Every structure is written in structure tokens, then in C-alpha cells.
Chain A
Amino acid sequence: DGGITQSPKYLFRKEGQNVTLSCEQNLNHDAMYWYRQDPGQGLRLIYYSQIVNDFQKGDIAEGYSVSREKKESFPLTVTSAQKNPTAFYLCASSIKRANRNRNQPQHFGDGTRLSIL
């Protein structure tokens, strides 16, 4: 079955530590996205990528970094500069929309919950 796999499901970070969240998709989608979800705040876009080796900052990119070396993979690193990393992180992917297919949805993984030790 095609889909998006996020790992691990739960992750703990120590003070001053960088951690990397994995996101892999086998949907052959060009575009991938990372969101942060906090209670009562909906989803906020961290980074997104429309094509391999290219990515753009979203609304809350500070303290995060990404890479897109392969079409299937879009890992997110939460750096020590992110002072409040405790949240639920969601990865999504979609086809690269053109005018005729703007109604194509994003597909989501099951998330990674990050907590501070």
C-alpha cells in the first residue's frame, strides 16, 4: 500500500541535542511538507519542498532544518536552537499541482510526538 511513514512515533530530546524526524513516502509525490501541531493552534507549516534538492521556509522555520536529497525522503531536524520543541509533528506529501489539478489533497503520515527530557 502506498503511503507516508513517519518514524519514530515518540521521540525524546535532551537539552542541547539535535534530533531528526524521518518522513518517507512511496506515493511518487513531488511535494513534501512538515507541520507542527500544538494544542489549540492547528497546523503550522515549518518547511516544504516542491522538488528534490530544493526547499522553502514555512511560517515557523526558526530552529528547524530539512534536506531533500531523494524524492521519497524529507527528514526534519529539530535543532538545539528550537527552545520549545515539544509538539506533534506531521509530514505530508502531494503531487505538484498545476492549474488543472489544484484540488488534489495532501496526504499525511501518522505523526511523531516529540517531548523534552
Chain B
Amino acid sequence: AQSVTQLGSHVSVSEGALVLLRCNYSSSVPPYLFWYVQYPNQGLQLLLKYTSAATLVKGINGFEAEFKKSETSFHLTKPSAHMRDAAEYFCAVYEAAGNKLTFGGGTRVLVKP
């Protein structure tokens, strides 16, 4: 089975500062990776997905993620945090066996004014 590890369950950043959320995966085959965002009491929204076409993936709301096979990582970044970025972020990897996603534990982002 594949697994996803998100380092840091909570991250606090100042408004305007860099946001960096870490995601490492384990996969024996080329992975299909996703980042989702969850606002309080809502479902998950897709931020971006890795399609193997490019290692740097741009998503919505100014986020991007870089796939690094040598490091088995897919870290999410945003150059300048905004108050509306306060949410929980989940990294996920697709598992062909069962046609399902395995999620990391999530990272909650707090943005300080």
C-alpha cells in the first residue's frame, strides 16, 4: 500500500510570507499526486494535481507544487500568504488497487496579520 506523510500538523505564517507545506509519498510506481484544501466545515477542494507532464504544477489561488522523484516529495508553496489561505491542506496519492486515494494527515495553516 502507498502512504503519504505531511510534515507538520500545524503551520503558522505571517501575511505576505512564503507558505511551504511538505508532502512525502511512498510509491513503487510513478505516482499520481494531489493537493486539496479544506475550509472549516466544508468538503475538500482540489488545488492541483501532478500529471507527469511537468514537475512544477500550478494550481488555483496562487499555489504551486514541485514533484521531486529523487526525494519522493511533492511540496506545496505559495510565495505570499493571504488571510484567506487559512485552511487545512491535504496531500494525496492515487492507488490503482481499489481506484482510491490515500491521504496524508493534513496540515492546518494559520495566517497572522
Contact = CB atoms under 8 A, between A and B. Distances in A.
A42 B94 contact: no
B28 interface: no
Interface stretch (A11-19, A63-71, A72-80, A105-113): A105-113
Given A43-B103, A50-B99, A103 B41 contact: no
- Interface range on chain B: under 10, 10 to 19, 20 to 34, or 35 or more? 20 to 34
Contact of B90 (A43, A50, A56, A109): A43
Interface residues of A, number: 29
Contacts of B50: 103
Contacts of A33: 100
Contact of B103 (A40, A42, A50, A110): A42
Given A48-B99, A90-B44, A103-B50, 17 more contacts: A6-B43, A40-B9, A40-B106, A42-B103, A42-B104, A48-B100, A56-B98, A58-B100, A92-B44, A94-B99, A102-B96, A103-B32, A103-B49, A103-B51, A105-B49, A108-B43, A113-B41
